[in-house]
Amino acid sequence: MKLNLSRVVRGCRLGTLNNLGKKGDRTMEFPGCLLYTRTGSAPHLTHDTLQVISGIPVMTQLTLSSLAEHYEILEEYKEGIGKFIGMPESVFYCSLHDPVNTCPPGYVTNKSVSVWGVGGRLEMTAAKFMTIQQALQPDWFQCLSDGEALCGEVFSAKRARKSVDRSLAFLDECLKLQEQSEVLRSCVMIGVIEGGDIREERLRSARETAKRPVGGFLLDGFHGDAMTKETKLQLMSSVTAELPEDKPRLIFGIGQPDEVLECIEAGVDLFESFFPYQVTERGCALTFSFDYQPNPEDTVLQQNGKKKEGGDNRDHIDKVTTIKCIPETAFEINLKEKKYRDDFGPLVEGCSCYCCKNHSRAYVHHLLVTNELLAGVLLMMHNFQHYFGFFCAIREALRKDRLGQLKELICKQATS
Amino acid sequence: FVGSTLALRVVAECGRSKARACELRLPHGTVATPVFMPVGTQGTMKGVTAAQLDGLGCRICLGNTYHLGTRPVSLIQKAGGCIGLLNYHSQDSGGFQMVSLLALSEVTEEGVRFHSPYDGAEILLSPEKSVEIQNALGSDIMMQLDDVVSSTLTGSRVEEAMHRSIRWLDRCISANRRPDQQNLFAIIQGGLDPVLRSKCLEEMTKRDVPGFAIGGLSGGESKEQFWKMVTLSTDHLPREKPRYLMGVGYATDLVVCVALGCDMFDCVFPTRTARFGSALVPTGNLQLKKKQFAKDFRPIDEACMCPTCQRHTRAFLHVLLHSNNTAALHHVTVHNIAYQLRLMDAIRTSIVEHRFPDFVRDFMKTMYGDVGRCPGWAVEALQSVGIPLS
């Protein structure tokens, strides 16, 4: 794997990762995102419906939490997780946890980390963890790490220090085990940067992890609300400043468009695409614009449209209980709202996704109200395509040195 | 009949049974029969997109868009037409709201009165209204509004429903504003009473409709009674018009009812059972959630060409079915639809190649093993049309 940095603009990195995959023939652009999966499959989508989406990322994210309990099946299968899940052509990154499902704290010890699958808690020592990775054979995998730096709701310096100590210990142990396995030697280990909100710990984690022969870095613990935005971004920048330029930086649990841009400015390269999935699960469609060079006419129309929607939101929101109670963001519309019942336009004007080309807001509204499975399928197709399009726009903006304009557009929508 | 928006060409007939292979020409295209029509909503099949359906070779399906009956007709017209047949009453639909609604509905000479599942509003579905909605939706085939009673019901209500269905058929025919673009099918009622059913057949075949559905069956009745009503119906329906047996979809039932002379079928079974992780195979079904499939690295069916079987193993589907990713359901739905279509295709080919009776025997052997294990009613029914199983 080789990282080619084509330019760095105000801290933002633009480039490609070449020679990816088992055959070493795949290339991935960054800043970019990975394809989010749940139990080895894009949510709601089969191969056919997935392939219709434009801009599918080269790299797919698997979560160990959803697959670990099946490792014996994979050992017997022998051909690796890619073939098992029916995606033999993809390149895989296996993260420890799922950014959508938070796991209960208090289960990390000096010797083990736990993940939660369908069958319950699965405790893994470094040895067990590496055995499982050996059965999965992903291209990249996040090393076993201790991501807990909180004591209740608040960061604890003591706990943060422990998270760094443990993660480094796990890293060293896993690297040793990797040496002993031919299969695992062809996989890339991703080192994990921990340390809570303690600057010294974050720097220590970054420097120490960078000393080890890892293929890339995961910035962990920056999701959630425990840190203020300023602290978060400052820490992120300090961390990436300590990391080698020629290795990719991933971040866990960040997906909102405005936050993505902030992280890119702080030196992050790769993101997950769980955010479009969360939007889908609440019956919403991503509608935010990333067209930072529109027709002046369109801007006026867009602004008018947005104003109208803003007014209606306050009056007509249909409160439908959803399993996930994450509030809506300003980047989406809620198709369950009554006002979409007779709206025969596409989810987003000008969107070329399968849903927007074939169906209307009214139709998706109807599917949601009648609890039809197809709602999830269509929304996932749209939301993924929209999100991948956003990353494409980021790269283009960086190429043309127009990221400031894109950021302005996104921030304007974020606060509207 | 008025306008030839439908033409049935009998391509081949089985020399022994009443099975026939036809071509059904409709405004939007030609459909080869016997045909199985998956049940969905406005041209889509639960989690399967219209494009996927198309890819499977599905030319015609059923849209249960009954709920749209609560919206102003102008709105429906804006939504665009369906790609096929429209049905109001799916006899064993359970999953869709119709059956549960029937339990709460009130039938008068005017029509069927109930509450919309959409917004709770009270609706009167009259013959005229049902035709108006179907005209707006523009499906190639539309069904009359019939007075449906449970097949296990006996007594005067059955007779009342049969006579009312005839009157409603006439009202539907009168109300049809697009007879040159859409085909209105009559639905034969009469329950399990041969006298009532014969009367219904006699009357409805006097009306010049492009096709006939055999209704009032596929409820809770015994299979012995069921097949007798099917064969009685096909005996009295014209050869040159399609016979649509409603609510039938189990493989054995399809094979037998083709032998009894039916051309078209619909059923929620294959798509519904898929959502429980049950995959249809020539020997019955595989309950993929069961432990025995955990390390089974074969596809659902080695001979199946569907996208699911081409790419996935039973073991993977087993894992996915135990997750909350709905993709698992879609994989099995795609396969089950493919299975049904492949079965009908095989049936049709055997009729065209004059070997339908042998096909039936092979089918039953694969499904049940020896003759002794074949369901009695099926053996009888096949015997009655010249296909002995032993």
pLDDT higher than threshold 90 for residue B96: no
Q: What is the pLDDT of residue B84?
A: 40
Q: With CA atoms as reference, report the closest residue to A279 among A289, A292, A266, A288.
A: A288
Summarize the confidence of residues B181-207 as an average pLDDT: 95
| Residue among A138, A264, A261, A113 at smallest CA distance from A192 | A113
Is A48 within 8 Å of B41 when comparing Cβ atoms?
A: no
Q: How far is B60 from chain A (nearest CA, A)?
A: 18
Alpha-carbon distance B112 to B167, whole Å? Answer: 14
Interface contact flag, A41 B311, Cβ < 8 Å: no
Are B172 and B145 in contact by the 8 Å Cβ rule? The answer is yes
pLDDT recorded at residue B89? 31
Is residue B78 less than 8 Å (CB to CB) from chain A? yes
CB A194 within 8 A of CB A167: yes
pLDDT per residue, tens digit, chain A (416 aa), is: 999 999 999 999 999 999 999 899 999 999 999 999 999 999 999 999 999 999 999 999 999 999 999 999 999 999 999 999 999 999 999 999 999 998 888 999 999 999 999 999 999 999 999 999 999 999 999 999 999 988 777 888 999 999 999 999 999 999 999 999 999 999 999 999 999 999 999 999 999 999 999 999 999 999 988 899 999 999 999 999 999 999 999 999 999 999 999 999 999 999 999 999 999 999 999 999 999 886 666 555 555 444 334 333 333 333 333 344 456 899 999 999 999 988 999 999 999 999 999 999 998 998 898 888 999 999 999 999 999 999 999 999 999 999 999 999 999 999 87
Q: Which residues on chain A are in Cβ contact (under 8 Å) with B70?
A: none
The pLDDT of B10-38, averaged and rounded, is 93
CA A184 to each of CA A176, A179, A337, A413: distance values in angstroms, whole numbers, following the listed order: 11, 8, 50, 45
pLDDT on residue B80: 34
Provide the token pair at A311.
């007014």
Q: How many CB atoms lie within 10 A of CB B306?
A: 23
- Whether the per-residue pLDDT at B77 is higher than 50: the answer is no
- Looking at the DSSP bridge assignments, the partners of residue A8 are A13
**From its phi and psi, is residue A383 left (phi > 0), alpha (psi between -120 and 50) or beta?**
alpha
| Closest residue, chain A, to B311 (C-alpha) | A86
Distance from CA of A373 to the nearest CA of B (A): 5
Are B249 and B266 a contacting pair, CB within 8 Å?
yes
> Other C-beta atoms within 10 Å of A224: how many?
12
Residue B302 DSSP class = T
CA of B47 to nearest chain A CA: how many angstroms apart? 4
What confidence tier does B151 reach under pLDDT thresholds 50, 70, 90? confident
Annotated catalytic residue within B147, B193, B266, B301:
B266
Chain A residue with CA closest to B325: the answer is: A43
Distance from the A337 Cα atom to the nearest Cα atom in chain B, whole angstroms: 13
Q: For every residue of chain A, which 3-state class applies, written as one string?
A: CEEEEEEEECCEEEEEEEEECCCCCEEEEECEECEECECCECCCCCHHHHHCCCCCCCEEEEEHHHHHHHHHHHHHHCCCHHHHCCCCCCEEEEECCCCCCCCCCCCCCCCEEEEEECCEEEEEEHHHHHHHHHHHCCCEEECCCCCCCEECCEECHHHHHHHHHHHHHHHHHHHHHHHCCHHHHCCEEEEEECCCCCHHHHHHHHHHHHHCCCCEEEECCCCCCCCCHHHHHHHHHHHHHHCCCCCCEEECCCCCHHHHHHHHHCCCCEECCHHHHHHHHCCEEECCCCCCCCCHHHHHHHHHHHHHHHHHHHHHCCCCCCCCCCCCCCCEEECCCHHHCCCCCCCCCCCCCHHHHHCCHHHHHHHHHCCCCHHHHHHHHHHHHHHHHHHHHHHHHHHCCCHHHHHHHHHHHHHC
Interface subset of A 356-375, CB within 8 angstroms of B = 358, 360, 362-363, 366-367, 369-370, 372-374
Q: Which of B92, B140, B147, B253 is catalytic?
A: B92
- Cβ–Cβ of B41/A374 closer than 8 Å? yes
Q: Which residue of A has its CA nearest to B320?
A: A39
Q: Do residue B49 and residue A354 have CB atoms under 8 angstroms apart?
A: yes
Which residue's entry shows tokens 């919309």?
A: B116
pLDDT score at A293: 81
Give me the pLDDT at residue B149, please: 87
Binding residues of B: 92-96, 146, 189, 216, 304, 306, 309, 335
Question: What is the pLDDT at residue A269?
Answer: 98
Rounded to an integer, what distance in angstroms lies between the CA atom of residue B28 and that of residue A374? 24
Q: Which of A118, A367, A370 sits opposite B322 (nearest CB)?
A: A118
Q: What is the pLDDT of residue B45?
A: 78
**How far is residue A240's CA from residue A225's CA, in Å, rounded to a whole number?**
21
Q: Which of A39, A48, A367 sits opposite B55 (nearest CB)?
A: A48
Q: Structure tokens of A76? A: 């017997």
Exposure string for B196-223, b = 16+ CB within 10 A, e = fewer? bbbbbbebbbebebbbbbbbbbbbebeb
Give the pLDDT band of residue B65 (cuts 50, 70, 90): low
Task: Assess whether B296 carries a catalytic annotation.
Answer: no
| C-alpha span between B230 and B237 (Å, rounded) | 11
Check A46 against B331: CB less than 8 A apart: yes
Cβ separation A41–B78 shorter than 8 A:
no
Q: Beta B141-143 vs B122-125: how paired, if at all?
A: unpaired
Q: Count Cβ atoms below 10 Å from residue A265 Cβ, excluding itself.
A: 18
Instruction: Write down all domains in chain B, each with its CATH number in brackets.
Output: 7-266 (3.20.20.105), 274-384 (no CATH)
The residue ranges of DSSP E strands in chain B, in sequence order, are 7-13, 20-26, 29-33, 35-40, 62-63, 85-86, 106-107, 112-115, 122-125, 141-143, 183-188, 211-214, 243-245, 264-267, 278-281, 284-287
Establish if A344 touches chain B: CB-CB under 8 angstroms: yes
Contact B311 A70 (CB under 8 A): no
A230 touches chain B (CB under 8 A): no
Q: How far is A330 from chain B (nearest CA, A)?
A: 26
CB A364 within 8 A of CB A348: no
Best CA proximity match to B173, nearest among B144, B134, B213, B139 = B144
Contact A174, A132 (CB under 8 A): no
Per-residue tokens: A93:
């990154």
Contacts of residue A176, Cβ cutoff 8 Å, sequence gap at least 6: none
| Residue B229 contacts residue B194 (beta carbons within 8 Å) | yes
Whether chain A has a CB inside 8 Å of the CB on B44: the answer is yes
Select from B44, B307, B325 the Cβ nearest to the Cβ of A38: B325
pLDDT at residue A276 in the model: 98
* Residues of chain B contacting A43 with CB distance shorter than 8 Å: 325-327
Q: Which two tokens stand for residue A149?
A: 């730096």
Instruction: Choose, out of B325, B331, B334, B335, the residue to mutate when testing the contact with A (most A CBs < 10 Å).
Output: B325
Residue from A396, A378, A361 nearest A44 by CA: A378
With residues binned 3-state (H G I as helix, E B as strand, rest as coil), the percentages for chain B, rounded to 5, are 40, 20, 40
| Domains present along chain A, CATH in parentheses | 2-272 (3.20.20.105), 283-290+329-415 (no CATH)
Tell me how many degrees the CA angle A132-A18-A47 measures, rounded to the nearest 5: 60
A318 Cβ under 8 Å from any chain B Cβ:
no
The distance of Cα A63 from the centroid of its chain, to the nearest Å, equals 11
Chain B touched by A48 (CB under 8 Å): yes
**Amino acid at residue number B279:** A
Give the per-residue pLDDT at B87: 38
Residue of B nearest to A378 (CA): B49
Give the closest of B48, B67, B329 to A370, CB-based.
B67
User: What is the distance in angstroms between the Cα of A293 and the nearest Cα belonging to chain B?
Assistant: 33
Quick check: B320 and A73 CB within 8 A?
no
Mean pLDDT of chain B: 87
- CA A88: distance to chain centroid? 21
Which pLDDT belongs to residue B44?
A: 64
Residue B279: C-alpha distances to residues B274, B293, B321, B337 (Å): 6, 12, 12, 10
